[in-house]
Amino acid sequence: MNQPLQHTTVLLDEAVHALLGDGDAPAGTFVDGTFGRGGHSRLILQRLGPQGRLVAFDKDTEAIQAAARITDARFSIRHQGFSHLGELPAASVSGVLLDLGVSSPQIDDPQRGFSFRFDGPLDMRMDTTRGQSVAEWLADAETAQIAEVIRDYGEERFAGPIAKAIVARRTERGPIASTAELADIVAGAVKTREPGQNPATRTFQALRIFINAELEELQQALEGSLRVLRPGGRLVVISFHSLEDRIVKQFIAQHSKEVYDRRAPFAPPQPMRLKALERIKPSTDEVAANARARSAVMRVAERTEVPA
């Protein structure tokens, strides 16, 4: 019988401490925006007081199945992306945690199609019950569209040649259906690559981000967090690549200053809405034990004023 795929939660203790603070058995409602396999959620529940509540979100049906095994009455799970967290009541939440990484069980399951290390269906959807797979999108997308996605979401300098190779292969042999096919096409189009990095790394990242609208959903979740966080509530975000971290960094910076209306120079400024607290990287010991932690960056901010 196959053993279930395991996941090691990155920055586990640091994230939960940043979210809940130093007090014992905190009350209030907290949000885990990406349940995954429940690493953060389980530790949050251990720390929460009897009056505390934890609301988790996840698009992945396998994550929902894993969450169903938690019987704690303080816990609930929603089969939605974390962009929906803004639908919670205004100023009702004491902390929001967003772990933006793809879980190891998703990456390591060939049937999910996230990794070029295994041959499997070219899917990459976080929620396999809805939306287009990567294979379906690549079957019809134009060369310019494919190049734009690979360039913008993968920061891939060979985006043009890769896109042309994908369309040429599709025209000659039909739709590209597997991860191995796509990885071979990319390898043939990428002339040089950083030492130790597979030529397909940036392309697979780009297609996954695009097909799941990850950056758009992140922006919506950040905006939603401003609405639902109460004053003093914490926003904790763990990013794993520069595109995500840039959005988080700029969002916190944007809302960490007073805003003046140039059309009304004598009007009082709108108060800042967030206070940036810290930026944390995994320790050398954590990276040595879990290589997938090496690119992680955690940013922490605090809600400062009452939402309108």
Per-residue pLDDT reduced to its tens digit, 222-248:
999 999 999 999 999 999 999 999 999
Tell me how far apart the alpha carbons of residues 38 and 9 are, in angstroms, rounded to a whole number.
Answer: 9
Q: Based on the fold, state whether residues 276 and 225 are members of the same structural domain.
A: yes
**What does R_g of the chain's alpha carbons equal in angstroms?**
21
Q: Angle at Cα 234 formed by Cα 101 and Cα 39, nearest 5°?
A: 40
Q: Which of 149, 178, 211 is the last residue of a domain?
A: 211
Which residue range is the domain that position 132 belongs to?
Answer: 127-211
Domain count, the chain: 2
Is 145 annotated to bind ligand?
A: no
Of the candidates 303, 307, 297, the one whose C-alpha atom is nearest the C-alpha of residue 247 is 297
Is 255 annotated to bind ligand?
A: no
Residue 63 lies in a domain: yes
Is 285 annotated to bind ligand?
A: no
Is 39 annotated to bind ligand?
A: yes
Q: How do residues 80-93 score in pLDDT, each as one tens digit?
A: 999 999 999 999 99
pLDDT at 261: 58
Which of the residues in the chain have pLDDT under 50?
1-4, 307-308
Q: Based on the fold, state whether residues 162 and 197 are members of the same structural domain.
A: yes
For the entire predicted model, the pTM comes to 0.90
pLDDT at 153: 96
Residue 100 lies in a domain: yes
Is 99 annotated to bind ligand?
A: yes
pLDDT at 197: 83
In contact, 243 and 155? CB cutoff 8 Å? yes
Q: Which residues of 8-44 are buried (b: 16+ CB within 10 A; e: fewer)?
A: ebbbeebbbbbbbeeeeebebbbbbbbbbbbbbbbbb
Which amino acid, one-letter code, is at 282? P
Q: Which of 194, 211, 228 is the last residue of a domain?
A: 211
